Structure 1
Amino acid sequence: MCRCASPAAVVEPPSPPEKTFTDVITEYRATFMITDLKVTTRRGYESVLESTLLPRFGPQPISRVDGAAAAALDLDMSKRELARATRNNTQIVLRSVLRFAKSRGYVADRPANLPKLKPFDEGILEIPSDEQITKLLRTANELHRRAFALMVFAGLRPNELRALRRKDMKLRREGGAAMGGVLGIREGRSHGEVHTPKTGQREIPIAPQLAPLLALVEEGPRDGYVALNKRGKPWGQYGLDQAFKRVGRRAGLEEWSVYCLRHYAITSWLRAGIPVHVVQRMAGHKHLATTQRYVHFMKQDLEEAARRMAQAQGLKEESW
């Protein structure tokens, strides 16, 4: 009689424990946030993770952070009367984390029934007048004036201004005087880190009003920065805004942000008759709709001009 041993039962290896929300965030920070997010976006996402998402979901299995959990979070934020933008930003970061979890195979699919993002009104554009800009530039010292003029006449974003180097500046001279040229916008600088501009590299003509101010720093190391603070260093993350507030107080712009200078530049290009698609490229707008906001603002100018003309011209239709 055969006493052969019966085949051993196959033992399945235990399934690895499910990732928690914190586990996923650890990987998300070490990979996706570094490779796919710009510096400023990364900062914003970190704030949402630390202040809201990790305290709320940290130890929970990632599969339990579903549409119902996201909706409950949004409801709690609504009860606390948090702004729509804050609620939207929280949901945007959460969606990004859940997409990442799906890409890593930690969940079968992104949860259904996630809360819809809330519509909110776009802010009103702050467009200073020519008189206000003139007063601001006259009030500013030489260093402030150069920085402000780069936003007023070239429409630079603050991070692009902080990163602008002499090698990106090509001045054109006529009779020995700087009369124009081109600025190459190739980098941005945010929180001390250099990155590509928000919507890629671009070139901007140097306006005749800006050229003499740039000529003063034309000489020097090619890698030297064009806009410097009083310590001879590139502007820090908040230095330019603080300088604008100080000078703006004396120029009647104390309640405005430094971004109003960029808004002024874009509007002035449109008023000069530059085609809107060209202004889009000069401003570095990803979408034409962004540039169109300035066109709509100018329509208000025209309506106001028509109203004033009607008041100033006393002729009645029946008189002629």
Structure 2
Amino acid sequence: MSDLRQAAKNGEAFDMDTGLPLSMLKAESARSWLEFARAYVKARWPHAAAKSREGLTDTMTAVTLALLKDAPGRPDASLLRVLLRQYVFVAEERRPDISPDLGRALRWLETASMPITALDEPRLARSALEVLALQLDGQPAAASTFRRKRAVFKHALGYAVELGDLASNPLDRVKWRPPKQNGAVDRRVVVNPAQARELLTAVSYVGRSRGPRLRAMFACMYFAGLRPAEAAGLRRQDCELPATGWGLITLKKTRPQSNKRYTDSGETFDDRGLKHREDDIVHPVPIPPELVTILREHVDTFGTADDGRLFVTSSGASFSGSAYAQVWKRARVLALTPDQVESPLAARPYDLRHAAVSLWLNAGVHAPEAAERAGHGVDVMLRVYAKCVDGQRDVANQRIEDALAA
């Protein structure tokens, strides 16, 4: 009754047949957020990479849980999250058989989901953004994570406008200051060449075969600046490895790891085109003689998979991200001092790529050339990677001291 009085007070027009104000009539006829979100995911799914599908599912799950009525019999939040991530927001062919508990939760969810028009109220649109800005434990999400999820949410609302579910994008009316993010690499993670070589040597001592098989993969990240997914997908036919001098890697595919429910193949690895490039674009990367030698020795020792992939297990399977992360963790203990192990120095394999690009820039390689080798734009290169390598500060201090004494 209070809503009717408020509508009359605001001077709203009423529908003659139902006696409802037009705003309430629109809400009555609008489809639910859940119904729209399922349609949106279905439309986006065929055109998205596995990692993008995973991010899409995470975002729509968080927003859906924020747009629920306070209905009786609400299931546990963790059960609803499993239902949305593993059943509702995945392709039909990837859905498991639904259990009785999840079936009951789905029926509740379908009745409790707010109409999509509820987002016309800025308060609700803001509450959805606030959910995206937090991790599950309530801690603030990284700025990059929030920006990525906000972009998905805004695109979804734009799709709702396109379909006529909303008159305009609600986020355009919400004043929100996103967390600041400069994207710069922390210089403390970047190793110098001596440290990099010590780490690569240490990798070869981890385990009976896993470490030796992964040494050349890590070497590609350091000497060629490859992303882990690019190195994982590297094939022998993509490499020119002369007996002397510089070689060449021609990148054609990446092999990112994701949950099998997000990949087209149903496997945990997804063969995709290169990041930031069209599917049919290749990316040539010159490689120094030291890496050429490492790769030649790797091929001589371990051979390749049937499809030419270089970095596989003894049975020809791909190494999981957790497997090579564990090898790297153990190698750090072998190669670094206790203080360095506790520091951010080369904490992740990806930090080898940061070290590679920082080395190129500090060596005087022009930014456009370094950007081309790394597969980035020049603006990103200068903003993110132009960092000194570990151990360079004393050199810089000495140069400044010499200049002041002149």
TM > 0.5: yes
**Which residue of 323, 332, 336 corresponds with 1:248?**
332
Matched with 2:287 is 206
Matched with 1:40 is 51
Contact 1:227–1:235 under 8 Å retained in 2: yes
> Counterpart amino acid of 2:293?
P
Contact 1:154–1:265 under 8 Å retained in 2: yes
Matched with 2:158 is 99
Using structure 1 for the length normalisation, give the TM-score.
0.80
Contact 2:213–2:312 under 8 Å retained in 1: yes
Find out whether 1:182 has 2:248 as its counterpart: yes
Find out whether 1:124 has 2:186 as its counterpart: yes
Name the SS of the counterpart of 1:53 in structure 2: helix
Provide the rounded CA distance (Å) in 2 between the counterparts of 1:233 and 1:127: 31
Find out whether 1:110 has 2:121 as its counterpart: no
Matched with 1:7 is none
Q: Aligned runs of 1:1-320 on 2, under 5 Å? A: 17-35=29-47, 37-50=48-61, 52-57=62-67, 59-66=113-120, 67-75=122-130, 80-83=138-141, 85=143, 87-111=146-170, 112-114=172-174, 115-122=176-183, 123-125=185-187, 126-141=189-204, 142-171=212-241, 173=242, 177-190=243-256, 191=258, 192-200=269-277, 201-216=282-297, 217=299, 223-229=307-313, 231-252=315-336, 254=341, 255=344, 256-285=347-376, 287-293=377-383, 296-298=386-388, 304-309=394-399
Between stretches 125-134 and 110-119, larger displacement belongs to: 110-119
% identical aligned pairs? 23
Q: Deviations over 1:83-132 (max 9, x none)?
A: 35254444333212112222333222212313343323435242112221
Using structure 2 for the length normalisation, give the TM-score.
0.64
Contact 2:66–2:131 under 8 Å retained in 1: no
Whichever structure has more helix as a proportion of its residues is: 2
Unaligned runs of 5+ in 2: 1-25, 69-112, 205-211, 259-268
Provide the rounded CA distance (Å) in 1 between the counterparts of 2:255 and 2:166: 36
Q: Deviations over 1:10-48 (max 9, x none)?
A: xxxxx994221111221222121331x332232223223
Q: Structure 1's 44 and 251: CA in aligned 2 closer, same or farther, altered over 3 A?
A: farther
Provide the rounded CA distance (Å) in 1 between the counterparts of 2:192 and 2:234: 26
Q: What RMSD in Å do the two structures reach over aligned CA positions?
A: 3.2
1:228, CA displacement in angstroms? 2.1
Provide the rounded CA distance (Å) in 1 between the counterparts of 2:293 and 2:203: 16
Q: May I ask how many residue pairs the two structures share in their alignment?
A: 296
Q: Deviations over 1:126-179 (max 9, x none)?
A: 2112221121112122312111101011111111111111221122x2xxx253
> Counterpart amino acid of 1:119?
K
Name the SS of the counterpart of 1:228 in structure 2: coil
Contact 1:166–1:221 under 8 Å retained in 2: no
1:222, CA displacement in angstroms? 7.3
Q: Structure 1's 81 and 202: CA in aligned 2 closer, same or farther, altered over 3 A?
A: same
Contact 2:33–2:115 under 8 Å retained in 1: yes
Unaligned runs of 5+ in 1: 1-14
Contact 1:167–1:223 under 8 Å retained in 2: no
Contact 1:68–1:113 under 8 Å retained in 2: no
Provide the rounded CA distance (Å) in 2 between the counterparts of 1:121 and 1:31: 33
1:283, CA displacement in angstroms? 0.4
Q: Structure 1's 91 and 202: CA in aligned 2 closer, same or farther, altered over 3 A?
A: same
Q: Structure 1's 89 and 243: CA in aligned 2 closer, same or farther, altered over 3 A?
A: same
